[in-house]
Structure 1
Amino acid sequence: APPAKRQRTVLEDAVEAPDPVSRTHAAVDAVIIGFMDALTSISERPLPKGSEAGTAADASAASSATPPATPGPATLAEVSGALSAKLAALDAAIESLPGLRRTPKEQMARLAELSVQIQEQEGTLRAKLEAAEEQLEVSKGVIKTLAQSMQGTAR
């Protein structure tokens, strides 16, 4: 039988996504999933015996004596380390977004491009407006002619 294909992680999707938006979404998903996994791992640890609501130190001591119900980070330091790694991956994905880190020269070039696009669109809109105004004048003339002819036939 062929070996089972390993399922990709959300973090791998984040790093290898084809476009920046997908990369960022996948990275945010990875951070959220990692955070939820860490919370689940912590919340599933049993409380110390004889204590309904123990302190974090009590819970940590109990978790070192009793294995967690599900596999996961065993200490708060490990949870913190895992979250830090995932946040670093998210930061890297965000940093790779186009335009996020432009130099002033690149920003000016981009503004110039946008200015040209706006001028082109303005020209197109002005041409459409002029055509619409011409059509309106033609329509007014047709309506005036129809109104006069209707008055002439009504007499």
Structure 2
Amino acid sequence: MHHIIGLYTSKKTERLWPLDPEGRIVFRSDCFHAFGYFSLLAPAFERYAQRDARISITSMNVMFRLRIEDLADALAILNDLETQLYQQPKNWQEYLGEIQYPGQKKRPIKPLLFRRRAVRIVQRLRALILKAQAQDKCLVYGNGVCYRALCGIKMPPGTVYS
């Protein structure tokens, strides 16, 4: 799955997409390693997905906004995450569930995660939030169809935007 986090100006007259390529982070979580890092961060931002999209952040076609008044709280969330990450060993295996391929037994999904990489992700998100605060902008997160729209990828004819 593709995900995007980016800056936008919070004016009601301005369209939300596409986001400026300079102020965005794009990542994929279709491999277990990337999904492992996503699974570390996603629960902390679940309440914003529930508030705006009314579905889980791990669902398809999710979009939510961190408004200007949410940014200070988001910084606190990232500070807490970074503190938790420094309590982890240099690398560890994160349990994500089980998988079963046809004709095989179930196996646990436990990608190897690295503290240094996880901390860099948190620091990159923090820098984006600080940039949003300095420029009086907001952040938006999207995946699935929302990712396509936020990147400016043309949608098939008949697609309905909300």
TM-score (norm 1): 0.31
Structure with greater contact order relative to length (CA < 8 Å, sep ≥ 6): 2
More helix by share: 1
More strand by share: 2
| Structure of higher CA gyration radius | 1
TM-score (norm 2): 0.30
